[in-house]
Amino acid sequence: MDTERISDIFASEVFSEDVMRERLPKDVYKSLLNTIATGKEIDAGIADVVAGAMKDWAVEHGATHFTHWFQPLTGVTAEKHDAFLTPVGGGKAIMEFSGKELIKGEPDASSFPSGGLRATFEARGYTAWDPASYAFIKDKSLYIPTAFCSYTGEALDTKTPLLRSMDAISAQGLRIVRLFGDNTAKRVTTTVGAEQEYFLIDEEDFKARRDLFYCGRTLFGAPAVKGQELEDHYFGALRPRVSAFMHELDIELWKLGISAKTKHNEAAPAQHELAPIYCTTNIAVDNNLLTMEFMKTIAPKYGMACLLAEKPFAGINGSGKHNNWSLGTDTGINLLKPGKTPAENKQFLLILAAVIKAVDDYQDLLRISAATAGNDCRLGGCEAPPSIISVFLGDELDMIVSSIVDGSEYSDKKNSKYMSLGIPSIPNIRRDTADRNRTSPFAFTGNKFEFRMVGSSQNIALANIVINTAVASSLSDFADELEAAEDFEAALTTLISRTFREHKRILFSGNSYSDEWVKEAAARGLSNFKTAPEAYEHFTDEKNINLFEKFAVMSETEMRSRREIFFENYRKIKNIEARTMLEMTIRDYIPAVSAYVEKLSTAVVNKKAAIPNVNTEAECDLIERLSELLSKTYSAYGELLRTENTAVKKSCDEEAAFYYKSHVIPKMDTLRRYVDEMEVLTAREFWPVPTYGDITFRV
């Protein structure tokens, strides 16, 4: 496909600004654009005009239905499709779509997670159009991005608090830029680029393993004889099936205006990554959800399955979602751009201080935003950050911050801006202001921060809600102090210095995987919630409720409902995994190994009968070892069954989640260990499922 063709298809199925400009009356277009730019309420008087234009455009592109597309608290999206069709009598019908239908929908609210906000008999809920996210066409339906709330007005989705958090940081950010003389900007916006990691495996292998089919990850599996130790897969040549998949994925994403930019093999065998160009946060969230959906639906066309689980295979890299977050004005000024002389860029240093303070003050919330049952399997190794939150700034900013805290003079003379490769034909390369620290959860990478902790299957909304609101809080505190100052410059210098000094404990540039860092972090007073349940119980700490309520991002009721959903979801996932392990053990592994032991036993008898004094030591040793492992496996199966039955009877989701963490998961680990030992001793023809080596190298 040539460049002109790509340009033609990009955003061709999006009701974009260009389409609006072409199809809407000038006054309606300006009014809608103002709503998008400022985040203010839409003029209800233009709804019918916009709806009519949307419908005509969608029908011309083959659409027959429309749907309010929303993000309930399931972690995925939801949609209910209605035809444009309206009967008019006489056996005839017309295609119709009103402003009322555009602005509001009414799905069933009781069938989605609500954390107690809605009882089963309280079914009414509403979807409300989000004009700031563009409508698009998919599968012959017009998709209208919407917020989702209960009959009583509480948010039942991720989009509503995200939009609120964007308003909060915009309001506080404007206070700061006004202090520095910017009277032009009308809004401060956050932007995000979400790098998506994923695995592609053969579809037949996926179907052959109940753990992959039900849970999205393997619950058993001995290490393959070759993994990622040779580092030959990372950035390696794309295999034909994978390349074809990636090409179609790019095309489908480009049609929806999703700027898929980079694609490559990741470190683990069968692992890959897609990176988009950053965009406004709410659109970035929508785009990432669509990206995951297309990955799952396109892969089967090429005989593959896409795995988005955080740790599909033990012993090799898991998959994350690197959330690249930045802050800027609607006039195009990146507030996290250091400039040529960052030590003298007071506005940048103040914004940097705000982020550092936010991460330190609300490290628990950041950890919670990436806390899932799946991510518990990933965090802490193989390029995944640990559960301790810290900030990496890089050498130059570290020295600047240190000089400010110490009151010493900063000099960048020893920091060469360029480096030479010693080859005359290759020009000197400009050195970035910071190296990359892949073990850091929250790293500065030039003009943005990369939050590397989010899991690959997660909706990135919560992470950005937390970052936006926490930074808004810092900016609010700063604005309060600076607006009241008699000497702005003196107050600014003091504020920056004090903030860096008070929050320097969160800064760390070393190896976050090391045991030394765990000890040092504890000495610094940093939190270390190793598992999701340990993190969840802090979501409704008083300081966190105060934060979200102060900026009207979430009410205490909405927060408590989400806390319940966190525990409920964790419990359900672990319940499914435990039941899957039990089923595979009793129906697959024990019968398979028993059959192999029986064959070995028969072989020994036949061999002795045919050859007197024959040596059967090898067969007998295998029989003995496998028989012992079978006994241990069955015993471990019984132990897991008993603890799982106890967990199921727990009436409280929080209590059950902690029981799974402390009692059920250790039993699952023990059962896995015995089954994996049997795998390496059992003849391939008897093993009932594809092995790690089969799965990760087949594609």
The 3-state secondary structure of 521-545 reads HHHHCCCCCCCHHHHHCCCCCHHHH
Per-residue model confidence as pLDDT tens digits over 499-534: 999 999 999 998 888 889 999 999 999 999 999 999
Per-residue model confidence as pLDDT tens digits over 615-660: 989 999 999 999 999 999 999 999 999 999 999 999 999 999 999 9
Split at pLDDT 50, 70, 90, the class of 413 is low
**Interval 85-96 mean pLDDT:** 69
Least-confidence region, from 44-48, 63-67, 435-439: 435-439
**Interval 591-605 mean pLDDT:** 96
Split at pLDDT 50, 70, 90, the class of 418 is low
Architecture of domain 165-554: 2-Layer Sandwich (3.30)
| Sequence-ordered list of residues with C-beta below 8 angstroms from that of 40, at least 6 positions apart, any chain | 34
Instruction: Please give the CATH superfamily to which domain 3-157 belongs.
Output: Glutamine synthetase, N-terminal domain (3.10.20.70)
Q: What pTM, to 2 d.p., does this model score?
A: 0.93
The 8-class DSSP code of residue 74 comes to T
Neighbours of 431 (CB within 10 A): 13
User: How many angstroms separate the CA atoms of 470 and 128, rounded?
Assistant: 26
Per-residue model confidence as pLDDT tens digits over 482-501: 999 999 999 999 999 999 99
What pLDDT does 423 receive? 55
What pLDDT does 429 receive? 46
What pLDDT does 424 receive? 57
| In the predicted structure, residue 479 carries a pLDDT above the cut 80 | yes
What pLDDT does 196 receive? 97
Per-residue model confidence as pLDDT tens digits over 157-181: 999 999 999 999 999 999 999 999 9
Which fold does the domain 570-698 belong to in CATH? Four Helix Bundle (Hemerythrin (Met), subunit A) (1.20.120)
Per-residue model confidence as pLDDT tens digits over 575-584: 999 999 999 9
| Sequence-ordered list of residues with C-beta below 8 angstroms from that of 487, at least 6 positions apart, any chain | none
Task: Report CA torsion sign: 498, 502, 507, 508.
Answer: positive
Split at pLDDT 50, 70, 90, the class of 695 is very high
First to last CA, the chain: 25
| In the predicted structure, residue 350 carries a pLDDT above the cut 70 | yes
AA letter at 624: E
What pLDDT does 416 receive? 53
In the chain, list all ranges with CATH 3.30.590.10: 165-554
What pLDDT does 657 receive? 97
What pLDDT does 81 receive? 93
Split at pLDDT 50, 70, 90, the class of 437 is low
| In the predicted structure, residue 663 carries a pLDDT above the cut 50 | yes
What pLDDT does 421 receive? 45
**Interval 382-387 mean pLDDT:** 77
What pLDDT does 419 receive? 46
Neighbours of 448 (CB within 10 A): 21
* Maximum alpha-carbon separation in the chain: 104
What pLDDT does 118 receive? 55
Single out the residue of 332, 331, 285 nearest to residue 133, CA to CA. Answer: 285
In the chain, list all ranges with CATH 1.20.120.1560: 570-698
- At residue 235, the 3 state secondary structure works out as coil
| In the predicted structure, residue 382 carries a pLDDT above the cut 80 | no
| In the predicted structure, residue 412 carries a pLDDT above the cut 50 | yes
Split at pLDDT 50, 70, 90, the class of 569 is very high
Q: Where are the beta strands (DSSP E) in 309-467?
A: 321-329, 391-392, 418-419, 429-430, 442-444, 449-451
| Sequence-ordered list of residues with C-beta below 8 angstroms from that of 29, at least 6 positions apart, any chain | 20, 21
What pLDDT does 515 receive? 87
What pLDDT does 430 receive? 53
Per-residue model confidence as pLDDT tens digits over 1-59: 455 578 889 999 999 999 999 999 999 999 888 887 776 777 778 889 999 999 999 99
AA letter at 87: P
User: How many angstroms separate the CA atoms of 446 and 435, rounded?
Assistant: 9
What pLDDT does 406 receive? 80
What pLDDT does 91 receive? 65
How is residue 339 written in tokens? 């400039």
Q: What whole-number percentage of the chain has pLDDT above 70?
A: 91
Using the structure block, give the residue that is written with the tokens 């032991």.
597
| In the predicted structure, residue 380 carries a pLDDT above the cut 80 | no
Per-residue model confidence as pLDDT tens digits over 173-220: 999 999 999 999 999 999 999 999 999 999 999 999 999 999 999 999
In the chain, list all ranges with CATH 3.10.20.70: 3-157
- Any bridge partners for residue 329, and if so which? 188
Using the structure block, give the residue that is written with the tokens 């900013």.
397
| In the predicted structure, residue 124 carries a pLDDT above the cut 90 | no
How is residue 206 written in tokens? 């996926």
